[in-house]
Amino acid sequence: MEKPNLQDKRRVLIASANPLYGKGLEKLLAQKAAGVAYEIRIASTMAETLNMLEEWRPDLVIVDYDDQTIDRNQFLNQFIVGDRAMQVMLVSLKASGAAVVYDRRTLSPDQTQDWLQLPIDSQPLQSRAHSQRSEGMKHFIIVAVLVAISTVLVNLLLQSIGLLPVEASTQAAIIDRLFDTHFLVISFLFSLIVVFLVYSLIVFRRRKDGDQEGKFFKGSTRLEVLWTILPLVTVIYFSYLGSLSLAETRKVDPQALEVKVIGRQWSWTFEYPEFGIVSDTLQLPVNRQVLLKMTSEDVIHSFWVPEFRVKQDLLPGENLVKELRITPTIIGSYKVRCAELCGTLHAYMESPVVVVSDADFQAWVDEEVKLLNADPATRGERVSKQNGCLACHSVDGTRLVGPSWLGLYESQRELADGTTVVADDAYLLNSIIKPNVQVVAGYPPGVMPQSYVDSLSETQLSDIIAFIKTLK
Ligand code: CUA
């Protein structure tokens, strides 16, 4: 490389948009220059500086560190790439004349980061670094307080929305306690992210007069260890809480009432082996544990009463009986629904669940047992009442929406199509399950529900017919 042609004259380039800066330095150098001849030039724009760097080839470049118009990255790239011996001096007047000198030959690229910070070897700058640290601490404390406040508020909001239905079993209380703890953690994580984000967007936004780039750091082992260990410990702790809660919901009461639950597409049946009762309603005494032994007749269903919280799949197969323990705590009417997609009418696979006092439960059992031993006609009368038959069909000959049942059996029926038929067992059954096929003259078709074919069992149908036979 070509050497500067005048060895005794040092070329100094001063880069600053501030004319006072250049003039001041020029004067200073003239005073200090004992026997050294200087040739000084001043560049006030970036382009000018880079141009002179190439054309004029200075020995020393003095850069106004406080000058924001100098693109430091661009300048430094130019400064580093060449192989000609040259020094660069960064001088900051704002930082009480702090200066640092780089030698191009010995500069390594990662030293370029120094350009984003102030020189480190000066006293006032150390105190500035210190104030930056305490500034950082101040932000951290503010954010920590905001995160804490936000956590409390978000948690209160979530609690007040009332995401869960009434807590109607002992098991529900256990599940809800776990749920509340999760909500607290969710509120905290939400706040941690959102508060940091919003705070940074507002406080560290780019100001109108600033074009400084953000501080860069490559990695922090301490931070990485922290954000690996903390979530790990939290998750392990929650799995511990979860297993404790699971064990608690399964606590066995030897006095538990046993009920067999059978699920099928798309209805539920409940059997009480202790009493021999079969019911389509799940009747439960309050404050007594019930042990549900569940099985499916076809596909997988899932027993779920939201107010009781716990849920259990029903599997087809006799040796795949699943158990679920529930202790209802609030008297009231609920609904069991199927929580496993099981076909067309999955959404409608629900049955009433009635929680009653001990005395009412005993009364229900007595009534069911009495009925069990009753004759078919008595059972049929009850089924007719329960299913709304008697709202449209009188038993005393009065004309209601549908034909009266009095004297119906074995009578001659005139149908809407002009034919005549005898009201025997087959006719009665057909009229219940396919009400629009043999419509009696004088009564409009399409009025009677067509759903009894699904909702009534064979026994119930024959019981109703047995009841109709008694009405002579
Ligand atoms: Cu049964 Cu869904």
Q: Is residue 382 situated within a structural domain? A: yes
Does 294 share its domain with 341?
A: yes
Last residue of a domain, one of 97, 121, 145: 121
**For ligand 1, atom 1, which residue shows the shortest CA distance?**
301
Does 299 share its domain with 397?
A: no
| Cα gap 390→280, rounded to integer Å | 20
Q: Is residue 268 situated within a structural domain? A: yes
**Cβ atoms within 10 Å, residue 149:** 12
Q: In ligand 1, which atom is closest to the CA atom of 340?
A: 2
The residues that bridge with 257 in the sheet, in sequence order, are: 290
Does 386 share its domain with 326?
A: no
Query: Which CATH number is 341's domain given?
Result: 2.60.40.420
Does 182 share its domain with 167?
A: yes
Report which residue type is found at 326. Answer: I
Does 106 share its domain with 149?
A: no
Q: For ligand 1, say whether the CB of 118 is within 6 Å of any of its atoms.
A: no
Kindly report the pTM of this predicted structure.
0.55
Last residue of a domain, one of 320, 337, 370: 370
| Cα gap 301→313, rounded to integer Å | 6
| Cα gap 457→348, rounded to integer Å | 18
Does 262 share its domain with 242?
A: no
In tens, the pLDDT along 270-316 reads 989 988 888 889 999 999 999 999 999 888 999 999 999 999 999 99
Does 23 share its domain with 81?
A: yes
Q: pLDDT tens track of the chain, all 472 residues?
A: 444 444 567 888 888 888 888 888 887 777 776 667 778 888 888 888 888 888 888 888 888 877 777 777 777 777 766 667 777 877 777 766 566 677 776 666 566 656 555 544 444 445 555 666 777 788 889 999 999 999 999 999 988 888 889 999 999 999 999 999 999 999 999 999 999 999 999 988 887 776 667 667 778 888 899 999 999 999 999 999 999 999 999 999 998 999 999 888 888 889 899 888 888 899 999 999 999 999 998 889 999 999 999 999 999 987 889 999 999 999 999 999 999 999 888 998 999 999 999 999 999 999 888 887 788 888 888 788 766 788 789 999 888 888 999 999 999 999 988 899 999 999 999 999 998 888 998 888 888 877 778 778 888 899 999 999 999 8
Q: In ligand 1, which atom is closest to the CA atom of 343?
A: 2
Does 392 share its domain with 363?
A: no
What is the DSSP-derived secondary structure letter of residue 35?
A: S
Q: For ligand 1, say whether the CB of 346 is within 6 Å of any of its atoms.
A: yes
Q: Are 15 and 63 in contact (CB under 8 A)?
A: yes
Q: In ligand 1, which atom is closest to the CA atom of 347?
A: 2
Does 48 share its domain with 138?
A: no
Q: For ligand 1, say whether the CB of 342 is within 6 Å of any of its atoms.
A: yes
Q: Is residue 3 situated within a structural domain? A: no
Q: Is residue 107 situated within a structural domain? A: yes
The residue segments making up the domain with residue 167 are: 126-207+215-249
Does 385 share its domain with 419?
A: yes
Dist. CA 467 → ligand 1 center (Å): 34
| Cα gap 269→21, rounded to integer Å | 94
Last residue of a domain, one of 74, 104, 121: 121
Output b/e per residue, 418-454; b: 16+ Cβ within 10 A.
eeebebeeebbbebbeebeebbbeeeeeeebeeebee
Query: Which CATH number is 434's domain given?
Result: 1.10.760.10
Q: What's the structural domain count of the chain?
A: 4
Q: Are 387 and 314 in contact (CB under 8 A)?
A: no
Q: In ligand 1, which atom is closest to the CA atom of 301?
A: 1
